[in-house]
Amino acid sequence: MAKNKLNKNWLHDHINDPYVKLAQKEGYRARAAYKLKEIDEQEKLIKPGQIVVDLGSTPGSWGQYVRKKMSGKEGGGINGTIIGLDMLPMEPIADMHFILGDFREARSLRALDAILQGRKCDVVLSDMAPNLSGIPTADSARMEHLIDLAIEFSQFHLKPSGALVVKCFKDMGFSQIVEKFRFEFKTVKQVKPKASRDKSSEIFLVGRGLKNPTEKNHAADDESALDI
């Protein structure tokens, strides 16, 4: 009974959520688009001509927002490159490259390299979150692991002056994650968009300027998944 009540409460809140209604009106696939919009408007991250990679891009609302920043009408071409990677399928977005697969695996990285052609990214985005077990220590470890992966990806693929945006949760090893960001990036900011639900401990970290970029291409020789 309690679970059914929680589901009903969530559904009621979701249906009446102003950002859900706005997303439906403006054609975004998820309300998450407005989180990125607020972060971008505050930090001025995304500009025409850039290369932007979206880790865990499905269902695609962040990709849709980036595309709007780089272009005009649907199907009219863009000034820049947008690449999404996800283990889950995603409905196509005009002018956006999509790689289905685990971005730790050599096959996905080779597909990425084929698009980048030696170029580095201006912005790496990650709205990834783990499947929660309800065990705080395990969930914190899973969240930290995902952010470690996003940082490692950025070390290889981000321009030294580029930016990484990741989703975190205040109750999931947040202080350790902030310290990792401070170790890897010259400037680190915390952003809590208004589009994040009040009840949620969700917060986003924006890291700018890599301290320790890696030049080696780790997709070149490895035929199997990275052992992480």
- Rounded to an integer, what distance in angstroms lies between the CA atom of residue 59 and that of residue 90? 6
Is 76 among the annotated ligand-binding positions?
Answer: no
Residue 102 annotated as part of some ligand binding site = yes
Q: Is 86 annotated as a binding residue?
A: yes
Do the beta carbons of residue 209 and residue 159 sit within 8 Å? no
Residue 95 assigned ligand-binding role: no
Residue 62 in contact with residue 46, Cβ under 8 Å?
no
Q: Residue 121: which of 84, 94, 146, 78 has the closest Cα?
A: 84
What are phi and psi for residue 70, nearest 5 degrees? -100, 0
Dihedral through CA 216, CA 217, CA 223, CA 227, nearest 10? 60
Binding site annotation covers 10? no
Q: Is 167 a catalytic residue?
A: yes
Among 35, 37, 69, 167, the active-site one is: 167
Catalytic residue ranges = 167
As annotated, the binding site for S-adenosyl-L-methionine includes 60, 62, 86, 102, 127
As annotated, the binding site includes 60, 62, 86, 102, 127
